[in-house]
Amino acid sequence: MHLVSDMAVPAHVRDDAHLEVMLPENLHITHFEKYTLNLSNHLDYNGLPFKPNMQIYSRFIPHEQASVPISSLWDIDKYQGNNQETTLEPFIGLAEYTNANFFSEGTIFDEYPSPGNTTTNYMNIDWAHPEIIVAEDGQPDNRIYIKKLIDGQTIQFPRLVAMGYFSRDWISEDCSGFYTLVLDDAVYHDYASVLIPRAIGYSASLLDYFFRGSLSVRNAMPQPGIPTVQGDGVLQWMTPIWDIGAEVQNISTLGTDDDGNPVPEPLGIGSLIGVARFKSGATERYAFSEAISVDVALADALNSGEPQSFLFHFPTGIWVGATDLTLQVIFQGTLGSEQEIAVAVGRCAVPAGTLAITFPDEFVYAIIDGSVSPNQFTQIKAKIRNTTTMIDENGQTVPVEVAEGSVHAVAVYKVIPGLLEDLSNYPQDNATMASLMAGEPFTSSISAPIPIDSLSSQQAGTYIFDFTADPIPTGVTDLYLAVYYEGTAQTDQSNITCLGGKDMNEPQYISYWNDTDYFLLYGEAVKADDIRDDSDVELYGYIEPHRISEFLGFSAAYPFVNPPLVASAQLIDAARYSKLIILTENVDHFYVTDRVLCHFQDGAIWFDGTFKYTLPGFINQMQLGYVWEWTPVYTIRGIIQHQSAYFMNSYPYFLYINTLPAPPENALGPFPVTINFP
């Protein structure tokens, strides 16, 4: 940059040795550099920097001593000495411009053709109208200045050189020496106001050149990674990220051609690395990927105009709880005529687009019959809405509508080692569970893709994701659900990938018991045979063991009215239980609508009632503060579950009890359940 700026100093580009600039200040040596140094805090730079367009690099003239396009900043071999007017065009080297339009102390009307007699008003000086200036001694003075001529017209600015006290005499005598012409402070002021903006602009263009390499980085996506939206709208990553996939394309250009078309600048051999930038709390952090080697074939692919897919692996990982995640891709190697050391950079947010995941009308995302082994989810139902936005030309945040594509879901979790389906070896306390899961890796299940025509930003659509080929086990911790959209943006038909995440409650085992093998009399569980001969037995109601049927629906909030019934167990025998395993999002509690039918021995219904009650959510995961949140299991009548409900006849009041003995019917296993979902 120093050398480029030096080309805005006339002495440097007119081969004028100027050692006097190093002499002590008390010798009153005048020189452009010393003038600008002394007045650096007070110079009038006359507006914005003059910054040449990147097109100047496409006018590069190769030379053995200047083999890269940056030489265009100082010389494009356009000015030949007799065509000063070309130096006023937009694309000109800074050395050419300064050489042709300004004097240095030792080259005033010297061997350089411009400025010359015919390109200034030297041949027609208006001696009668001097300018009044403040001279170097601080006193007013009359001075004549030589100025440029363009198309025969005198250009008042900038002043080129001042006449000395004896200049008129020398000229009238037609002397060949012009030693009384001087570059005074007024001239230097004019020079500075023109040359300094160019020095700044051309230096900035040099920086632009070194950072001209551009990559298009799109659709960056952790594989896998689960983001959830926090209360303040910030996207936070709930699982560690080791890999990020992205589409990369070289879009570097070296200015434009004469028709205004971009001149592509190709990548050559080199390497790519990914830099993940993110925040952990309020601290900004970085993670660096392993390098990906770019050979000739891969370079050609990057230059082809089609984005290429890459997977960047981060050995140190990206921390759980990361926010504001972006991916920057850096190429280092050959770019255009620069060998090995050039750089091209691109960056994008992660993810490119976002989705909102909410529970379906049935509230549960999945529900299965616990009597069917293996216990695993093969379908998940959820509502999905496109929440991708962009900033428009007016600075407003607007939706990015997406068109045809596909959606698929990914469940991410940790498998509890060796957990039995009857939960008999379920860890009995928080510390045991945390110790068991320490070091267990995340694994994932991926659904089949669902082709779609569009994904609305206004209204959520309901989708059923099929995990039949890759089921989700029920014995897991740290369960998260992600949904991906892959397709095109409606605005420009460019490829776009959107991602939404949801922190799920872990699979919850709920048992529903038919406890009518007992009767609750005055708060005590008794057998029918023990009270059948009571004198008040007619007051008790129906005391015999009998079958029941249950129809279940779930809701997120109270009050709730007739939620969809998603499961039923019909004609459950006394002392039998049914087991449901449900999947909900991370909620503290939810609501159950439980319609119960009681049957006589012949199947006739003698009771039809609906009960509504609350159940807590089930959480079993490591929290962001590295504290394990655990929910215990309970043993009811010899069966282990997370929650249970039961039906039992009573008189004269009902009282909750959990001390009934395990019935021999447990050997039959859970009573089958009909699932009316999804």
Question: Mean pLDDT across the chain, nearest whole number?
Answer: 89
Q: In this predicted structure, which of 25-29, 106-110, 289-293, 619-623 has the lowest mean pLDDT?
A: 25-29
Determine the residue type at 230. Q
pLDDT of residue 311: 97
Distance CA 521, CA 285 (A): 66
**Is pLDDT above 70 for 22?**
no
Q: Is residue 457 predicted with pLDDT exceeding 50?
A: yes
Predicted local confidence at residue 130, as pLDDT? 86
**Looking at residue 18, what is its pLDDT?**
64
Kind and range of the H or E run holding 298: helix 296-302
45-49, 446-450, 518-522: segment of lowest average pLDDT: 45-49
CA–CA gap between residue 193 and residue 201 (Å, rounded):
13
For residue range 43-91, list pLDDT tens digits in order. Answer: 665 556 677 777 777 777 777 677 777 788 888 888 888 888 888 887 8
What is the C-alpha separation between 324 and 318, in angstroms, rounded? 12
CATH 2.60.40 boundaries in the chain: 211-351
CA 204 vs CA 49, 172, 212, 664: distances in Å:
9, 47, 12, 86
Q: Where are the alpha helices (DSSP H) in 515-571?
A: 528-531, 537-540
Predicted confidence at residue 555, as pLDDT, reads 94
Instruction: Compute the 3-state secondary structure of the chain and give helix, strand, coil in percent, each to the nearest 5.
Output: 15, 40, 45
Confidence of residue 627 (pLDDT cuts 50, 70, 90): confident
pLDDT the model gives residue 340: 82
Mean pLDDT of 209-222: 90
Residue 168 CA to residue 102 CA, distance in Å, equals 22
For residue 28, what pLDDT is reported? 46
Of 164-173, 284-293, 427-436, 481-490, which one has max mean pLDDT? Answer: 284-293
C-alpha span between 134 and 398 (Å, rounded): 59
CA-to-CA distance for 264 and 261, rounded, in angstroms?
Answer: 9
pLDDT digits (tens, 9 = 90+) for 289-345: 999 999 999 999 999 999 999 999 999 999 989 999 999 999 999 998 888 888 999
**Confidence (pLDDT) at 492:** 79
Closest C-alpha to 475, from 361, 593, 405, 377: 377
Per-residue pLDDT, averaged over 231-250, amounts to: 90
**69 DSSP assignment:** G
AA identity, residue 186 = A
Whether residue 202 is predicted with pLDDT greater than 70 in this model: the reply is yes
Q: Which of 157-166, 449-458, 512-521, 546-555 has the lowest mean pLDDT?
A: 157-166
pLDDT of 625 above 80: no
DSSP for 37-96, written as a single string: HHTTTT----SS-----GGGGGG---BTTB-SGGGGGT--S---SS-GGGGGSSS--HHH
What confidence tens digit (pLDDT) does each residue in 571-587 have? 999 999 999 999 999 89
Ramachandran bin of 65, using left for φ above 0, alpha for ψ from -120 to 50, beta for the remaining angles: alpha
Average pLDDT over residues 446-454: 96
Please give the distance of CA 604 from its chain centroid, rounded to a whole number.
62
* pLDDT number for residue 173: 62
Q: Are 250 and 344 in contact (CB under 8 A)?
A: yes
**What pLDDT score does 261 carry?**
86
678: preceding bond cis by omega (within 30 degrees): yes
Give strand pairing partners of 589: 616
Question: Which structure tokens are listed for 387?
Answer: 């929440």
For residues 586-597, average pLDDT: 94
pLDDT of residue 210: 82
Rg of the chain in Å (alpha carbons): 41
**CATH entry, 211-351, from 2.60.40, 3.40.1570, 1.10.287, 3.40.50:** 2.60.40
pLDDT class for 176, splitting at 50, 70, 90? Answer: low
Provide the pLDDT confidence category of residue 179 given band limits of 50, 70 and 90: low
pLDDT at 288 over 50: yes
